Amino acid sequence: MVFLNIAGSVALILFGIRSLRKGLERMLGHALHAWLERMARRPWTSAFAGFVFGTVAPSSTAQTLLALQLLNAGKLPAASMLAFLLGANVGITITVQLIALRFYDYYSVFLVVGLIGFQAFKSETIRGAGQSLLGLGFIFLAMRVGGEAAHTLAGDEDFRTILGILIHHHVLLVVFTAVLTLATQSSTAAIGLALALGSSGIVTLELLVPVVLGANLGLGLTSLMAGLGTWQGRRLAAANLILKGAFIVLCLIAFQPLLDLLALSPGSLERQTANFHTAFNLAVMAVGVVFAGPLGRLLQHTVRPAEATVAGVPPVATHLDPAALTSPVFALANATRETLRLADEVKGMLDGAWRAFVENNPTLARSIQRHDDRVDELNNAIKLYLSRLPADAMTPRDSQLQFGLLNFSSQLESIADTIDKSLCGSVIKHANETVALPPEDRADLEELHRRVMRRVETAISVLATRDRTLARQFLRDGDVLKDWCIEIQKQHYQRLAQNTPGAAETSTRFVDMVNVLRRISGQLNTIGHTFLLSKPTPAPEG
């Protein structure tokens, strides 16, 4: 029964950490993502941003995923992301500090206040804060359950004998704790269990220090597992693991002097252990930030990109990491970046098709048509990825963004089809016509193409910012463009009536192009309507 209670306390800690992280996402969500991206420009500010994130979301998997999000965006250097991850590891230790300060004596306060905030209010911010407090309450309750079980074990002679043997095998303790941390994906659970034993008086610093070292090794291994999906993730997690491993080896080599130093520090055994945990990660962070550049260059030669390319074409989807699906905020950020990439692909098709029209180049038009298959694959990948998001884990804001991404992705695929079949098809159809467009018609088409390209760029901005004012202006611009298209067609027919040279011979080509570009502009309107019909939501920057 005692071991069942200990297992139950570990389960409560894991559930509490999950609730704490989910509450954070509900409370801050994309706003936190935007703040972190602004902060993570330089190594030291990036380390501070990581510390904040690790404090409020003590999950090494979540931290690695977010670091990869920011790194894959291509705007932040790898050195800053390593500093972010190391700072987040320091932030994780704050939960252990709260445990050592015996905040678990007030677990009932956290549970009651958290439940009221989560159940009695409709505001997502308040509900998120309540869910976070519930998470802390579960963690502190787990410490009470684990502490009572540890006090029971304190009187068991067999258990004391086992501890007496383990205390002389430091490396074995490090490995065992690392495996436990990797299995539970939580260093807090492993160290929290050790602190519960420490409060019962049956363990000493000689046993707790290897446990802390093993938990940190397990933390590095957990980050490595989370980052295995991409070569950037492997580099980032490998750098983190190398730094932690080096410090663990140093601590084991200087084990006795380290124990003597810790014994001189003030506070209870639990406080000394928690302080060592924090100090260890602070030291790793400081060295990591200073030597991030040389370490990054070393890993560039040892961990190389493994993603295959065909004829120089990159993989279809580069941001859709399946590991992020358990966290809607990260998964939606992935899907947003992939949708923006899809928009750039379609924008490139439109620009290429226009060049084919201007140059009367059917070969270029056919090469542009081949891009439609790639757009279809990207669209299908985005839809499949978004459909795998767990509905029960998403807030209304998350669901709104999910719908917006699905809708915009589908419209982009439709626009690509229009470019393929109508725009490029028109170029190929009229390739043998030698009569040039009248200057007036050509000028109108050039202006129409310029306006449609600008609308594509604005649609991308609406998706990236989710700004309702911008969406409203985007739709107004669409109405203005529609009226202008009608006007230039009227002027074209007037030139036909006046027998303007070349107007009759090129009329079909002109009207086809106007109708196609006008149709593309109309298809873009969907993104504006999507974010006007929904409630405002904060959007990530960058």
**Last residue of a domain, which of 235, 270, 302?**
302
What's residue 296's pLDDT? 65
541 falls within a domain: no
What's residue 107's pLDDT? 83
Check whether residue 421 and residue 296 sit in a common domain.
no
What's residue 310's pLDDT? 37
Compute how many other C-beta atoms are within 10 angstroms of the C-beta atom of residue 249: 11
| pLDDT higher than 90, residue 279 | yes
What's residue 303's pLDDT? 52
**Last residue of a domain, which of 251, 272, 302?**
302
Domain residues for the domain of 370 are: 322-533
Check whether residue 294 and residue 393 sit in a common domain.
no
User: pLDDT band at residue 183, thresholds of 50, 70 and 90?
Assistant: confident
What's residue 138's pLDDT? 87
What's residue 154's pLDDT? 65
Give the integer Cα–Cα distance in Å for 524 and 521.
5
Write the pLDDT tens digit of every residue in 70-112: 665 555 666 777 888 888 889 888 888 888 888 778 888 989 9
* SS3 of residue 424 by DSSP: helix
Check whether residue 64 and residue 106 sit in a common domain.
yes
- DSSP assignment of 192-241 equals HHHHHHHHTTS--HHHHHHHHHHHHHHHHHHHHHHHTTSHHHHHHHHHHH
310 falls within a domain: no
257 falls within a domain: yes
518 falls within a domain: yes
Backbone phi and psi for residue 313, each to the nearest 5 degrees, phi listed first: -90, 125
Give the integer Cα–Cα distance in Å for 470 and 467.
5
Give the integer Cα–Cα distance in Å for 162 and 167.
9
Give the integer Cα–Cα distance in Å for 83 and 47.
5
Measuring CA to CA, which residue among 180, 509, 511 is closest to residue 357? 509
**Mean pLDDT over residues 240-261, rounded?**
90
Check whether residue 271 and residue 417 sit in a common domain.
no
Domain containing 402 — which CATH number?
1.20.58.220
**Last residue of a domain, which of 246, 274, 302?**
302
| pLDDT higher than 90, residue 280 | yes
Q: Residue 532: exposed, middle, or buried by beta-carbon count in 10 A (0-12, 13-18, 19+)? A: middle
Measuring CA to CA, which residue among 170, 23, 10 is closest to residue 110? 23
Check whether residue 298 and residue 326 sit in a common domain.
no
**Residue 28 near residue 396, CB atoms below 8 Å:** no
What's residue 312's pLDDT? 41
Q: Give the CA distances from residue 126 to residues 93, 116, 141, 394, 513, in Å, rounded to whole numbers and listed in that order.
A: 25, 10, 22, 16, 53
**Residue 436 near residue 399, CB atoms below 8 Å:** no
Give the integer Cα–Cα distance in Å for 386 and 102.
42
Check whether residue 214 and residue 353 sit in a common domain.
no
Higher pLDDT, 262 or 300: 262
User: pLDDT band at residue 542, thresholds of 50, 70 and 90?
Assistant: very low
Give the DSSP letter of residue 41: T
What's residue 315's pLDDT? 47
How far is C-alpha 503 from the geometric centre of its chain's CA atoms?
54
Among 22-36, 191-205, 361-375, name the most confident range.
361-375
User: pLDDT band at residue 278, thresholds of 50, 70 and 90?
Assistant: very high
192 falls within a domain: yes
**Residue 60 near residue 226, CB atoms below 8 Å:** yes
Token pair, residue 128, equals: 């998120």
What is the chain's mean pLDDT, rounded? 79
Bridge partners (DSSP) of residue 310 are 313
User: pLDDT band at residue 537, thresholds of 50, 70 and 90?
Assistant: very low
What's residue 121's pLDDT? 83
Write the pLDDT tens digit of every residue in 343-400: 888 999 989 988 888 888 888 888 888 888 888 888 888 888 888 888 777 777 778 8
**Mean pLDDT over residues 229-236, rounded?**
70
Write the pLDDT tens digit of every residue in 470-517: 888 888 888 898 889 889 888 888 877 777 665 566 777 788 888 888
Domain count, the chain: 2
Residue % of the chain over a pLDDT of 70: 82
Check whether residue 295 and residue 335 sit in a common domain.
no
Check whether residue 265 and residue 327 sit in a common domain.
no
**Residue 171 near residue 252, CB atoms below 8 Å:** yes
| pLDDT higher than 60, residue 39 | yes
Check whether residue 240 and residue 343 sit in a common domain.
no
Torsion of CA 28, 34, 35, 37, to 10 degrees: 140
Higher pLDDT, 177 or 225: 177
Higher pLDDT, 113 or 151: 113
Token pair, residue 114, equals: 């958290």
Question: Which of 26-30, 70-74, 247-251 is the least confident region?
Answer: 70-74
140 falls within a domain: yes
**Mean pLDDT over residues 112-128, rounded?**
85
What's residue 276's pLDDT? 92
Question: Which of 57-66, 332-341, 352-361, 406-415 is the least confident region?
Answer: 57-66
What's residue 253's pLDDT? 92
What's residue 68's pLDDT? 63
User: pLDDT band at residue 540, thresholds of 50, 70 and 90?
Assistant: very low
| pLDDT higher than 80, residue 225 | no
Give the integer Cα–Cα distance in Å for 190 and 195.
9
User: pLDDT band at residue 541, thresholds of 50, 70 and 90?
Assistant: very low
What's residue 451's pLDDT? 92
Check whether residue 279 and residue 395 sit in a common domain.
no
